[in-house]
Chains A and B, each alone.
Chain A
Amino acid sequence: MLPLPKSFDKNEIFLITVLFLLILIIRFLPKRFPKVITILILLEAFTIARLADHLLASAHVMGIDFYDIMDTGKYEFFGLFTYLIFAPFGYLFVYLYDWIKPRGVYLCLYIISWSLFSTCFEWIMVLFDIYKYKNWNLAYSSIVYLVVQPLTILFFEFLIREYNKMKE
Protein backbone atom coordinates (compact mmCIF):
# COMPACT_ATOMS: atom_id res chain seq x y z
CA MET A 1 0.00 0.00 0.00
CA LEU A 2 2.67 2.51 1.03
CA PRO A 3 5.76 1.72 -1.07
CA LEU A 4 9.12 1.58 0.66
CA PRO A 5 12.01 3.58 -0.86
CA LYS A 6 13.74 2.23 -3.98
CA SER A 7 17.02 2.67 -2.16
CA PHE A 8 17.58 3.80 1.40
CA ASP A 9 19.72 6.84 0.67
CA LYS A 10 20.28 10.49 1.58
CA ASN A 11 16.64 11.63 1.64
CA GLU A 12 15.48 8.93 4.05
CA ILE A 13 18.56 9.37 6.28
CA PHE A 14 18.05 13.15 6.33
CA LEU A 15 14.36 12.81 7.28
CA ILE A 16 15.01 10.35 10.11
CA THR A 17 17.92 12.41 11.50
CA VAL A 18 16.00 15.70 11.45
CA LEU A 19 12.90 14.11 12.95
CA PHE A 20 14.97 12.52 15.71
CA LEU A 21 16.68 15.85 16.51
CA LEU A 22 13.36 17.73 16.54
CA ILE A 23 11.78 15.18 18.88
CA LEU A 24 14.80 15.50 21.19
CA ILE A 25 14.51 19.31 21.20
CA ILE A 26 10.79 19.20 21.99
CA ARG A 27 11.27 16.51 24.62
CA PHE A 28 13.76 18.62 26.57
CA LEU A 29 12.05 22.00 26.19
CA PRO A 30 10.28 23.11 29.39
CA LYS A 31 6.54 22.41 29.19
CA ARG A 32 4.74 25.59 28.22
CA PHE A 33 1.24 24.58 27.11
CA PRO A 34 -1.45 22.22 28.39
CA LYS A 35 -1.34 18.75 26.81
CA VAL A 36 -4.52 19.35 24.79
CA ILE A 37 -3.06 22.50 23.15
CA THR A 38 0.21 20.71 22.39
CA ILE A 39 -1.57 17.79 20.72
CA LEU A 40 -3.76 20.08 18.61
CA ILE A 41 -0.87 22.32 17.52
CA LEU A 42 1.18 19.28 16.46
CA LEU A 43 -1.84 17.86 14.62
CA GLU A 44 -2.62 21.16 12.92
CA ALA A 45 0.88 21.52 11.44
CA PHE A 46 0.87 17.87 10.39
CA THR A 47 -2.56 18.05 8.73
CA ILE A 48 -1.98 21.38 6.97
CA ALA A 49 1.19 19.93 5.42
CA ARG A 50 -0.70 16.82 4.38
CA LEU A 51 -3.59 18.75 2.84
CA ALA A 52 -1.24 21.09 0.96
CA ASP A 53 0.68 18.15 -0.50
CA HIS A 54 -2.54 16.30 -1.25
CA LEU A 55 -3.78 19.26 -3.28
CA LEU A 56 -0.50 20.25 -4.94
CA ALA A 57 1.52 17.07 -5.32
CA SER A 58 -0.84 14.16 -5.78
CA ALA A 59 -3.30 15.46 -8.35
CA HIS A 60 -1.59 13.97 -11.39
CA VAL A 61 -4.75 13.73 -13.40
CA MET A 62 -5.66 17.37 -13.49
CA GLY A 63 -2.28 18.67 -14.58
CA ILE A 64 -1.44 20.54 -11.41
CA ASP A 65 1.11 18.05 -10.18
CA PHE A 66 3.60 20.63 -8.95
CA TYR A 67 6.13 18.41 -7.25
CA ASP A 68 6.94 14.85 -6.20
CA ILE A 69 7.80 13.79 -2.69
CA MET A 70 10.64 11.27 -2.15
CA ASP A 71 11.62 8.75 -4.84
CA THR A 72 8.44 8.21 -6.85
CA GLY A 73 5.34 10.18 -7.71
CA LYS A 74 3.35 7.81 -5.51
CA TYR A 75 2.43 8.21 -1.88
CA GLU A 76 5.39 6.58 -0.14
CA PHE A 77 5.88 5.38 3.41
CA PHE A 78 8.63 7.94 3.96
CA GLY A 79 6.31 10.61 2.60
CA LEU A 80 4.59 10.36 5.98
CA PHE A 81 7.85 11.40 7.64
CA THR A 82 7.83 14.69 5.71
CA TYR A 83 4.53 15.58 7.40
CA LEU A 84 5.83 14.41 10.77
CA ILE A 85 8.68 16.93 10.42
CA PHE A 86 6.21 19.79 10.06
CA ALA A 87 4.53 18.94 13.38
CA PRO A 88 7.52 19.77 15.65
CA PHE A 89 8.35 22.82 13.51
CA GLY A 90 4.79 24.07 14.01
CA TYR A 91 5.16 23.48 17.73
CA LEU A 92 8.49 25.35 17.90
CA PHE A 93 6.98 28.23 15.90
CA VAL A 94 4.12 28.59 18.40
CA TYR A 95 6.38 27.94 21.41
CA LEU A 96 8.74 30.79 20.47
CA TYR A 97 5.77 33.02 19.64
CA ASP A 98 4.31 32.45 23.09
CA TRP A 99 7.70 32.97 24.73
CA ILE A 100 8.68 36.18 22.89
CA LYS A 101 5.08 37.48 22.51
CA PRO A 102 5.89 39.76 19.56
CA ARG A 103 3.40 42.56 18.92
CA GLY A 104 2.90 45.03 16.04
CA VAL A 105 5.83 45.31 13.69
CA TYR A 106 7.74 42.65 15.66
CA LEU A 107 4.98 40.15 14.91
CA CYS A 108 5.42 40.87 11.17
CA LEU A 109 9.17 40.44 11.56
CA TYR A 110 8.62 37.19 13.46
CA ILE A 111 6.41 35.76 10.72
CA ILE A 112 8.72 36.92 7.92
CA SER A 113 11.77 35.43 9.70
CA TRP A 114 10.03 32.10 10.17
CA SER A 115 8.86 32.10 6.56
CA LEU A 116 12.46 32.73 5.45
CA PHE A 117 13.72 30.00 7.75
CA SER A 118 11.04 27.56 6.50
CA THR A 119 11.88 28.38 2.88
CA CYS A 120 15.60 27.81 3.55
CA PHE A 121 14.80 24.51 5.25
CA GLU A 122 12.67 23.49 2.28
CA TRP A 123 15.60 24.38 0.01
CA ILE A 124 17.75 21.95 2.03
CA MET A 125 15.01 19.33 1.62
CA VAL A 126 15.12 19.93 -2.14
CA LEU A 127 18.91 19.44 -2.07
CA PHE A 128 18.36 16.12 -0.30
CA ASP A 129 15.85 15.03 -3.00
CA ILE A 130 12.90 14.98 -0.62
CA TYR A 131 10.95 17.36 -2.84
CA LYS A 132 11.38 17.18 -6.60
CA TYR A 133 9.93 20.32 -8.13
CA LYS A 134 8.18 20.21 -11.49
CA ASN A 135 6.19 23.41 -11.88
CA TRP A 136 7.00 24.78 -8.45
CA ASN A 137 9.72 26.94 -6.93
CA LEU A 138 10.79 28.23 -3.52
CA ALA A 139 9.12 31.62 -4.07
CA TYR A 140 5.71 29.89 -4.15
CA SER A 141 6.59 27.99 -0.98
CA SER A 142 7.54 31.21 0.83
CA ILE A 143 4.12 32.65 -0.06
CA VAL A 144 2.42 29.54 1.30
CA TYR A 145 4.40 29.90 4.56
CA LEU A 146 3.51 33.58 4.79
CA VAL A 147 -0.17 32.61 4.65
CA VAL A 148 -0.08 29.49 6.84
CA GLN A 149 2.02 30.89 9.69
CA PRO A 150 -0.29 33.79 10.66
CA LEU A 151 -3.17 31.30 10.49
CA THR A 152 -1.28 29.02 12.88
CA ILE A 153 -0.88 31.94 15.32
CA LEU A 154 -4.61 32.72 15.05
CA PHE A 155 -5.43 29.07 15.65
CA PHE A 156 -3.14 28.99 18.69
CA GLU A 157 -4.65 32.18 20.15
CA PHE A 158 -8.12 30.71 19.59
CA LEU A 159 -7.20 27.48 21.38
CA ILE A 160 -5.69 29.34 24.35
CA ARG A 161 -8.76 31.60 24.62
CA GLU A 162 -11.15 28.63 24.53
CA TYR A 163 -9.03 26.68 26.97
CA ASN A 164 -9.04 29.55 29.47
CA LYS A 165 -12.79 29.98 29.01
CA MET A 166 -13.30 26.27 29.69
CA LYS A 167 -11.15 26.43 32.81
CA GLU A 168 -13.08 29.37 34.30
Chain B
Amino acid sequence: MIIVFLLALTIVLIITFFRIEKSLNLFQNIFMYFVLSFLITTSFDILILNLEYIKLSSNFYLVLLFFLMQTSFFPLIIILYFNYLSASKSRLQKFNLIILCLASLFLIEYTLLSNKIIIYKKWTSLKSALYWISLLLIIYLLNKAFNKSISDEVDC
Protein backbone atom coordinates (compact mmCIF):
# COMPACT_ATOMS: atom_id res chain seq x y z
CA MET B 1 0.00 0.00 0.00
CA ILE B 2 2.71 2.45 1.04
CA ILE B 3 4.72 1.60 -2.08
CA VAL B 4 1.76 2.42 -4.33
CA PHE B 5 1.00 5.61 -2.40
CA LEU B 6 4.55 6.97 -2.51
CA LEU B 7 5.03 5.90 -6.13
CA ALA B 8 1.83 7.68 -7.14
CA LEU B 9 2.86 10.75 -5.17
CA THR B 10 6.27 10.81 -6.86
CA ILE B 11 4.72 10.42 -10.33
CA VAL B 12 2.29 13.26 -9.61
CA LEU B 13 5.17 15.43 -8.41
CA ILE B 14 7.26 14.64 -11.51
CA ILE B 15 4.35 15.48 -13.84
CA THR B 16 3.60 18.67 -11.90
CA PHE B 17 7.24 19.65 -11.99
CA PHE B 18 7.46 19.38 -15.76
CA ARG B 19 4.09 21.03 -16.39
CA ILE B 20 4.36 24.17 -14.27
CA GLU B 21 6.13 27.28 -15.42
CA LYS B 22 9.40 27.74 -13.59
CA SER B 23 10.89 31.09 -12.67
CA LEU B 24 14.49 29.87 -12.59
CA ASN B 25 16.07 29.04 -15.91
CA LEU B 26 16.57 25.50 -17.17
CA PHE B 27 20.29 25.37 -16.42
CA GLN B 28 19.77 26.40 -12.80
CA ASN B 29 17.14 23.69 -12.38
CA ILE B 30 19.41 21.03 -13.87
CA PHE B 31 22.32 22.23 -11.73
CA MET B 32 20.21 22.08 -8.57
CA TYR B 33 18.93 18.60 -9.43
CA PHE B 34 22.44 17.17 -9.83
CA VAL B 35 23.78 18.83 -6.70
CA LEU B 36 20.76 17.81 -4.62
CA SER B 37 20.86 14.19 -5.81
CA PHE B 38 24.51 14.04 -4.92
CA LEU B 39 24.14 15.71 -1.51
CA ILE B 40 21.05 13.77 -0.45
CA THR B 41 22.37 10.32 -1.44
CA THR B 42 25.77 11.10 0.07
CA SER B 43 24.40 12.37 3.36
CA PHE B 44 22.01 9.43 3.74
CA ASP B 45 24.86 7.01 2.94
CA ILE B 46 26.96 8.64 5.65
CA LEU B 47 24.07 8.47 8.15
CA ILE B 48 23.15 4.88 7.27
CA LEU B 49 26.46 3.18 6.45
CA ASN B 50 29.16 5.15 8.23
CA LEU B 51 27.53 6.54 11.37
CA GLU B 52 24.67 4.02 11.61
CA TYR B 53 22.35 6.75 12.91
CA ILE B 54 19.56 5.54 10.65
CA LYS B 55 18.69 1.94 9.78
CA LEU B 56 17.20 0.98 6.45
CA SER B 57 14.43 -1.57 5.94
CA SER B 58 15.54 -5.01 4.79
CA ASN B 59 12.73 -5.17 2.24
CA PHE B 60 14.11 -4.86 -1.30
CA TYR B 61 11.15 -2.89 -2.69
CA LEU B 62 11.06 -0.47 0.23
CA VAL B 63 14.76 0.26 -0.19
CA LEU B 64 14.23 0.89 -3.91
CA LEU B 65 11.40 3.22 -2.98
CA PHE B 66 13.71 5.06 -0.60
CA PHE B 67 16.23 5.38 -3.45
CA LEU B 68 13.46 6.87 -5.60
CA MET B 69 12.59 9.33 -2.84
CA GLN B 70 16.22 10.42 -2.53
CA THR B 71 16.68 10.93 -6.25
CA SER B 72 13.30 12.32 -7.25
CA PHE B 73 10.90 13.37 -4.51
CA PHE B 74 13.24 15.26 -2.17
CA PRO B 75 15.22 17.06 -4.94
CA LEU B 76 12.09 18.04 -6.89
CA ILE B 77 10.34 19.46 -3.82
CA ILE B 78 13.41 21.58 -3.05
CA ILE B 79 13.80 22.73 -6.69
CA LEU B 80 10.11 23.69 -6.77
CA TYR B 81 10.61 25.63 -3.55
CA PHE B 82 13.49 27.65 -5.05
CA ASN B 83 11.48 28.33 -8.21
CA TYR B 84 8.55 29.71 -6.22
CA LEU B 85 10.93 31.56 -3.90
CA SER B 86 12.50 33.49 -6.76
CA ALA B 87 9.03 34.44 -8.03
CA SER B 88 7.67 35.51 -4.63
CA LYS B 89 7.67 39.20 -3.74
CA SER B 90 6.68 39.63 -0.10
CA ARG B 91 8.45 38.34 3.00
CA LEU B 92 5.28 36.64 4.18
CA GLN B 93 5.08 34.69 0.93
CA LYS B 94 8.71 33.62 1.34
CA PHE B 95 8.09 32.58 4.93
CA ASN B 96 5.02 30.57 3.92
CA LEU B 97 7.01 28.88 1.20
CA ILE B 98 9.80 27.72 3.48
CA ILE B 99 7.25 26.38 5.96
CA LEU B 100 5.45 24.54 3.16
CA CYS B 101 8.69 23.10 1.79
CA LEU B 102 9.93 21.91 5.20
CA ALA B 103 6.48 20.51 6.04
CA SER B 104 6.43 18.48 2.79
CA LEU B 105 9.91 17.11 3.46
CA PHE B 106 8.97 16.22 7.04
CA LEU B 107 5.70 14.65 6.04
CA ILE B 108 7.44 12.33 3.61
CA GLU B 109 10.15 11.54 6.12
CA TYR B 110 7.46 10.79 8.70
CA THR B 111 5.70 8.50 6.22
CA LEU B 112 8.99 6.67 5.60
CA LEU B 113 9.54 6.45 9.34
CA SER B 114 6.05 5.29 10.30
CA ASN B 115 6.16 2.58 7.63
CA LYS B 116 9.59 1.44 8.88
CA ILE B 117 11.30 2.15 5.58
CA ILE B 118 13.82 4.06 7.67
CA ILE B 119 14.31 3.58 11.41
CA TYR B 120 15.94 6.19 13.62
CA LYS B 121 18.67 4.76 15.86
CA LYS B 122 20.76 7.68 17.07
CA TRP B 123 18.82 10.18 14.98
CA THR B 124 15.98 12.50 16.00
CA SER B 125 13.40 14.70 14.31
CA LEU B 126 15.24 17.80 15.51
CA LYS B 127 18.43 16.62 13.79
CA SER B 128 16.32 16.00 10.71
CA ALA B 129 15.01 19.57 10.82
CA LEU B 130 18.54 20.90 11.09
CA TYR B 131 19.60 18.62 8.24
CA TRP B 132 16.91 19.90 5.84
CA ILE B 133 17.48 23.55 6.79
CA SER B 134 21.25 23.17 6.24
CA LEU B 135 20.61 21.46 2.91
CA LEU B 136 18.37 24.34 1.78
CA LEU B 137 21.02 26.83 2.84
CA ILE B 138 23.80 24.96 1.01
CA ILE B 139 21.72 24.75 -2.17
CA TYR B 140 20.84 28.42 -1.92
CA LEU B 141 24.52 29.38 -1.68
CA LEU B 142 25.62 26.98 -4.44
CA ASN B 143 22.85 28.24 -6.72
CA LYS B 144 23.97 31.82 -6.08
CA ALA B 145 27.57 30.87 -6.95
CA PHE B 146 26.41 29.06 -10.09
CA ASN B 147 24.33 32.07 -11.15
CA LYS B 148 27.25 34.38 -10.65
CA SER B 149 29.58 32.20 -12.69
CA ILE B 150 27.20 31.89 -15.65
CA SER B 151 25.55 35.31 -15.57
CA ASP B 152 27.75 36.60 -18.40
CA GLU B 153 26.54 33.76 -20.66
CA VAL B 154 22.92 33.21 -19.65
CA ASP B 155 20.19 35.53 -18.37
CA CYS B 156 19.45 34.36 -14.81
Does A58 sit within 8 A of B, measured CB to CB?
yes
Cβ-defined contact, B49 with A47, below 8 A: no
> How big is chain B's contact interface, by range?
20 to 34
Question: How far apart are the CA atoms of A168 and B52 in the complex, in Å?
Answer: 51
Question: How far apart are the CA atoms of A99 and B144 in the complex, in Å?
Answer: 32
Cβ-defined contact, B31 with A39, below 8 A: yes
Interface residues of A (CB under 8 A from B): 1-3, 34-36, 39-40, 43-44, 46-47, 50-51, 54-55, 58-64, 73-75, 159, 162-163, 166
Partner of B38, one of A35, A46, A163: A46
Cβ-defined contact, B67 with A54, below 8 A: yes
Interface residues of B (CB under 8 A from A): 25-27, 30-31, 34-35, 37-38, 41-42, 45-46, 48-51, 56-60, 63-64, 67, 70-71, 146, 149-150, 153-155
- Residues on B with beta carbons closer than 8 Å to the beta carbon of A39: 31, 146, 149-150
Q: Chain A: interface secondary structure?
A: helix
Partner of B41, one of A36, A44, A50: A50
Given the known inter-chain contacts A58-B45, A62-B58, A62-B63, please indicate yes or no for A35 contacting B34, CB distance below 8 A: no
Cβ-defined contact, A55 with B60, below 8 A: no
- Residues on A with beta carbons closer than 8 Å to the beta carbon of B30: 40, 159
A-B contact pairs, 24 of them (CB 8 A): A1-B46, A1-B50, A2-B46, A35-B149, A35-B150, A36-B153, A36-B154, A40-B30, A46-B34, A50-B37, A50-B38, A50-B41, A55-B67, A58-B45, A62-B56, A62-B58, A62-B60, A64-B60, A73-B49, A74-B49, A74-B50, A75-B46, A75-B50, A166-B25
- Residues on A with beta carbons closer than 8 Å to the beta carbon of B154: 36, 163, 166
Question: How far apart are the CA atoms of A43 and B149 in the complex, in Å?
Answer: 15
Nearest neighbor of B26 in chain A, beta-carbon distance? A162
Given the known inter-chain contacts A51-B71, A162-B26, please indicate yes or no for A62 contacting B45, CB distance below 8 A: no
Question: How far apart are the CA atoms of A23 and B27 in the complex, in Å?
Answer: 24
Question: How far apart are the CA atoms of A64 and B42 in the complex, in Å?
Answer: 18
Q: Which of A54, A73, A166 has the most CB of B within 10 A?
A: A54
Rounded to whole Å, the gap between the CB of A152 and the closest CB of chain B is: 13
Question: How far apart are the CA atoms of A63 and B51 in the complex, in Å?
Answer: 20
Given the known inter-chain contacts A1-B46, A47-B38, please indicate yes or no for A166 contacting B60, CB distance below 8 A: no
- Residues on A with beta carbons closer than 8 Å to the beta carbon of B146: 39
